Amino acid sequence: MNLGSTITELRTSRGLTQQAFADLMYVSRELVSKWENGTRRPDYDMIERLAQVLEVSPDAIVDKNDLVFEELADCIPDGVTVGDAELTAAIESFLRGIGENEARLFIRRYYFLETPADISAAFGKRENYVRSVLSKTRAKFRKFIKERAS
């Protein structure tokens, strides 16, 4: 079952409408709809909030590792196939070619599977800064993979 279906099932099993659930989560009904139809994906911090409101463990919604690896898998351009060994070599090469700060954040997120909140606390940076750097680094990695595949 995918993440959106799981959220829908848990929400409806508790008799909550999207609006009622959104109110409990302090988000818009539109965002709940996007989670459920797969247009947007909540990060792990939000998954923990979802779990609390739905009175389940976060693992009942999604495996933390799956969520992080899906995020990293989005870096592989459509039509490009990369084997495990090739991906490992590409990541190592990529990390050697970027700034130390970017590399450290990337490793904490994708090797140690830390949340952006945990990384921001460890680095003494704002969470939005960490999210921004990770987003830009993933975009660079996507470009790097695309160039290697050409």
Of the candidates 13, 57, 7, 14, the residue with the CA atom closest to the CA atom of residue 32? 7
| Amino acid (one-letter) located at 149 | A
The domain segmentation of the chain, as residue ranges, is 3-62, 66-149
pLDDT by residue (tens digit) across 9-41? 999 999 999 999 999 999 999 999 999 998 888
Architecture of domain 3-62: Orthogonal Bundle (1.10)
112 burial via Cβ count (<10 Å: 0-12, 13-18, 19+)? exposed
Q: Is 35 helix (H, G, I), strand (E, B) or coil?
A: helix
CATH entry 1.10.10.10 includes domain 66-149: yes
Instruction: List the Cα angle 44/26/72 in 5-degree steps.
Output: 20
pLDDT on residue 1: 58
- Tokens in use for 18? 């999207």
pLDDT by residue (tens digit) across 98-137? 999 999 999 999 888 888 889 999 999 999 999 999 999 9
The answer to pTM > 0.85 is no
